[in-house]
Amino acid sequence: MKILFLDWKSLGNEDIVSAAEYLDHNGYHIDIRLYPFDNHIEDDDKEEAEKLSKEIKAQSPDFVMSFNYFPLVSNVCKEAGIKYVAWVYDNPATRLFSYTLINSCNYVFVFDSQMYETFASQGIKTVYYLPMAAAVRRYDSLPLNSEKEKRFKGKISFVGHLYNEDHNYYDMLIEKASDYLRGYLEGLIKSQMELQGLNIVDKSIPSAVMKEMVDILGIKPSYDSVTTYEYLYSNYVINRKITSMERCEILAEIGQKFPVELYTSNTSFKADGITNHGEVDYYFSMPYVFKNSDINLNISLRSIQRGIPLRSMDIMGCKGFLLTNYQEDMLQFFEPGEDFVYYESRHDLMDKIDYFLSHDEERKSIAENGYKKVARDHTYEQRLSEIIDIVIM
């Protein structure tokens, strides 16, 4: 079996290749070939389409595969009579709303069950639900490194973007917003921040509010998309701002009582009790953070409505203790209080941090249980074999 894998700077590339090589030595007979790909291409880039078409004819793969979905690739595969597999780890993911999604060549796997239901409810048969995975073999093989263990040791750690860069969409919007728009959005954000496990934003944007936002920002669906304005503005503008506020406020509140190790791209963020280390390398350093932190926080991007974020899988796959906000899909596969812990409110979060920092054995037992379930059921090898069983078998 030959897989033509689109190689762009996505997380998990090396782990998919490693999983394919592992499966090749364990009965699947996989030949995976890498094709350099630019994920920023336009969906109607004729030159790139021609290049990919020639590569497909030269390689004759059983299927083409990529992280995230690209309409251009789907159309090329449709023309070539080749299956196209896309494993989507982004949410929001506007390219999924392309008319090409219904191409019969497609096998599109999404990690958020809410996203899957959005398409399945419309009778679309080319979309499947598949959670993300953890590179457990790679994490287990990392050498003991006293320097890194000391460097990344911490009581409480958070790895992730704060989405508070200068001139983000929301701040650009508010600079020109009317008093009515500003007041409405502030009230909507405040209401949403009180809710865990339920997102009300996209159903709470009146036409007058939407019109003013579009007039100011000018963000519109692409020519070949059925994306709604509600989807675009709720996820790329409002939910992103909510996530930024939530992460910054939660980390600052924790920092008032406990030391926090923060790993993020915005090194300008500062608050009492927080050490901002800047960004951490996903492959070579991040696992040491998860392995050497007493508590690893997950504060989900608000546009991920039910799905298990990749970071949560990574934390458990590294045998780290996971303390997360509520995400419905977690409960399909893991037992709260046994494999991981979730918080229901900020007060509950602070109580659970206090409790688990003083109950070492219970914390370590939960981390061990989470690791065992991820190692058993949620590795890249298992996910790739699941994909192959659906697409080929």
DSSP H helix total and E strand total for the chain: 17, 12
Quick: pLDDT tens for 326-352: 999 999 999 999 999 999 999 999 999
Q: What is the mean pLDDT of the chain?
A: 95
- With a CB cutoff of 8 Å and minimum separation 6, the contacts of 344 are 196, 326
Residues of the chain with CATH 3.40.50.2000: 2-133+379-391, 137-377
Rounded-to-integer distance, Cα 324 and Cα 338, Å: 13
pLDDT in tens, 231-256: 999 999 999 999 999 999 999 999 99
Which pLDDT value is given to residue 167? 66
User: Average pLDDT for residues 371-386, to the nearest whole number?
Assistant: 98
* Lookup result for tokens 């997360």: 324
Query: Mean per-residue pLDDT for 144-167?
Result: 89
Residue 357 has pLDDT above 70, yes or no: yes
Q: Which CATH number fits domain 2-133+379-391: 3.30.2090.10, 3.40.50.300, 3.40.50.2000, 3.30.70.20?
A: 3.40.50.2000
pLDDT at 77: 98
Instruction: Report the share of the chain in percent with pLDDT over 70.
Output: 99
Question: Which residue type, as a one-letter code, is found at position 198?
Answer: L
Weakest mean pLDDT among 163-172, 290-299, 338-347: 163-172
The string of DSSP letters for 192-244 reads: HHT-SS---GGGS--HHHHHHHHHHH-----TTB---HHHHHIIIIIHHHHHH
pLDDT at residue number 166: 66
Q: Which helix (H) or strand (E) is 97 found in, with range?
A: none
CA 47 to chain centre: 30
Q: 362 Cβ partners below 8 Å, 6+ apart?
A: 356
The strand order across the sheet containing 2-7 reads 31-36, 2-7, 63-67, 83-88, 106-110, 127-129
| Among candidate residues 158, 160, 196, the one with its CA nearest the CA of residue 295 | 158
Cα–chain center distance at 344: 21
User: 3-class SS at 339?
Assistant: coil
137-377 adopts what CATH topology?
Answer: Rossmann fold (3.40.50)
Residues 130-143: pLDDT tens digits?
Answer: 999 999 999 999 98
